[in-house]
Amino acid sequence: MTATGHHPPRRLPIRMCARCQRFTQNPVLVHEHHGATGPGFNVYACEECAPHYPPPTDELSALADTPSG
Ligand SMILES: [Zn+2]
């Protein structure tokens, strides 16, 4: 079960894909940068590139999935 913080507006603005550097009308949030001392920014990708990005995981889960050996 996932809890979403806030819902996006009805219509998202056109974003540039961080992978193929192309503008897309259906941006997919693939990564969130949280600024330590300032406002963070979001990384968007087009629907075609979104699957290539790793799923948004918490830092705790990432640490737990450390490779051994
Ligand atoms: Zn793309």
pLDDT in tens, the chain (69 residues): 666 667 665 665 789 999 999 999 989 998 888 888 888 888 999 999 999 887 656 655 555 666 666
The full DSSP string for 1-69 is ----S-PPPSSPPPEE-TTT--EESS-EEEEEE--SSS--EEEEE-TTTGGGSPP---HHHHHHT----
Distance 62 CA to ligand 1 centre (A): 24
Cα 7-21-26 angle, rounded to 5 deg: 30
Ligand 1 midpoint to CA 28 (Å): 10
- Report domain extents, the chain: 15-57
